[in-house]
Amino acid sequence: MANDGNRPTSEPEWAAFVGLDWGDQKHQWKLQEAGSGHCEQGELRNAPEDLDAWASQLHFRFQGQPIAVCLEQSRGAVVYQLCKHAHLVLYPVHPKAAARFREACHPSGGKSDARDAAALLDLLMHHRDRLRRLDPESPQTRLLQMCVEQRRMWVDEKTCLSNRLTACLKQYFPQVLDWVDDIDSPMGCALLQQWPSLEALQSNHPGSLRRFFTQHNCRSQKRIQERLEAIPAARPAIQDAAMREAGPRLVQHIVALIQVLHKQIKELERRIAQLVQEHPEAPLFKGLPGVGPALLPRLIVAFGSDRQRYTSAAQLQAYSGVAPVTQQSGRSRAVHFRRACPKFLRQTFVEMAGHSIAKCGWARAYYAQHRSQGQRHQAAVRALAFKWLRVLFACWKNRTPYDEQIYLRALQNNRSRLVQILGTHLQWKEQAGFQKICAEKP
């Protein structure tokens, strides 16, 4: 990743430079001492003991002086094992950037582990100003980040299982999809776990079914009655004996997995809530419009605690993928969606912007303005996320929680077009002893 000035340019006095090509079974390294043209190379077994021994040898050889290490990994087993050695300063490189650099150096397309390590060393020594050193966040922030990413992974896994469950039910028991609004909900899973087929469901007394729906928080008597009338009147979708046996068995297995994921997600959410409550950055984002228990921890880890991580909102907009990419050559110019970015980070900001539309007047007006210009929903939400990032970055950099009254006043003072789009006059009035900006129809 390019530095772009978001880190201090001063560097320590390096003792050596290392290019490390990591692998599943073994690692290839190439080392060059500072001020020397001689290179050394070697191979390491992918084992914690071998990595520790190698790092200790470098520490003893160079008397604890800093050593720059370049590798194609920013998170993973090798990074976690090397981070505990203070004398090793890691410079992660995106695999795509490393591959393009190798192709530029070797147009023939030749490739080997030793050549990859040499390319990383060359990139580190001659283009270090284009790289950003790995400065990990605080353990508290990194733990919160891992938890929210794990939660997203389990939610996506639950969605996949829900789709498989729906596809299976459509083959032999499609009626249940009309009777249960969310088939992967606790009520839907409990129903299919007890009665995975139409015949099993119809064998129950209506009173038992009514009691089941009531116990699972269905309070609409009209909805319960509709189900009780539809279940006896339903007819089997198929008569195939094989599917009538295999289908319910598969459904029960999928439901069991979904129930396990429900439990894991709830446990993660409890732990995330505890970490958010203890995190010092939580007050900055807690009052944002549309931000709830799921988005709040994601915003905390998106910005982190290191105020030197970004020096401008433009850097964060580009890194997160919210800012578009411009390609220009001669008379042709194209602006397109940015694909090379952390997808989960971009999703965080886009979802936050989407939720703010219903809770924030100026955000709703900004979204409507882009929609009126012919933009699609997702493009308009990304444009709103682009604007929100400028606001959030200022709040984060100055450690000041977001205050919509102050922002509305800034819009009015700057004669923003949003004030005109809102179709109101913004005026300061005293309410209950406080000065508050109010929107009044002209």
What is the helix (H) or strand (E) element at residue 11, kind and residue range?
A: none
How does DSSP assign 42-69, residue by residue? Answer: EEEESSHHHHHHHHHHHHHHTTT--EEE
Mean pLDDT per 10-residue interval, the chain, length 442 residues = 47 91 91 89 91 94 93 86 92 88 82 88 90 88 94 95 96 94 93 94 91 90 92 92 94 96 95 95 91 94 90 91 87 84 92 91 88 90 94 93 84 75 52 48 41
CA nearest to 395, candidates 321, 320, 307: 307
CA nearest to 396, candidates 294, 311, 284: 284
The amino acid present at 423, given as its one-letter code, is: G
Check if 16-136 and 143-275 are the same fold.
Answer: no
Length in residues, the chain: 442
b or e along 389-405 (b: 16 or more beta carbons within 10 Å of the residue's beta carbon)? bebbbebbeeeeebebe
Q: Output the pLDDT for position 329.
A: 84
Q: Distance from first CA to last CA of the chain, Å, rounded?
A: 50
Domain ranges, ordered by start, for the chain: 16-136, 143-275, 303-327+337-396, 403-442
What is the value of pTM for the model shown?
0.82
**44 exposed, middle or buried (CB, 10 Å; 0-12, 13-18, 19+)?**
middle
b or e along 281-307 (b: 16 or more beta carbons within 10 Å of the residue's beta carbon)? bbebbeebbbbeebbbbbbbbbbbeee
Question: CA-to-CA distance for 306 and 397, rounded, in angstroms?
Answer: 10
Q: Output the pLDDT for position 433.
A: 54
Residue 53 tokens read as 């021994």
CA nearest to 18, candidates 4, 30, 1, 6: 30
Cα–Cα distances in angstroms (integers) from residue 109 to residues 105, 134, 230, in the given order = 9, 29, 66
How far from chain centre, in Å, is Cα 398? 24
Q: Output the pLDDT for position 317.
A: 92
Q: Output the pLDDT for position 428.
A: 44
CB 21 within 8 Å of CB 113: yes
What is the helix (H) or strand (E) element at residue 438, kind and residue range?
A: strand 434-440
Q: Output the pLDDT for position 75.
A: 82
Say which CATH topology domain 143-275 has. Answer: Helix Hairpins (1.10.287)
**CATH classification code of 16-136:** 3.30.420.40
Q: What is the DSSP letter of 129?
A: G
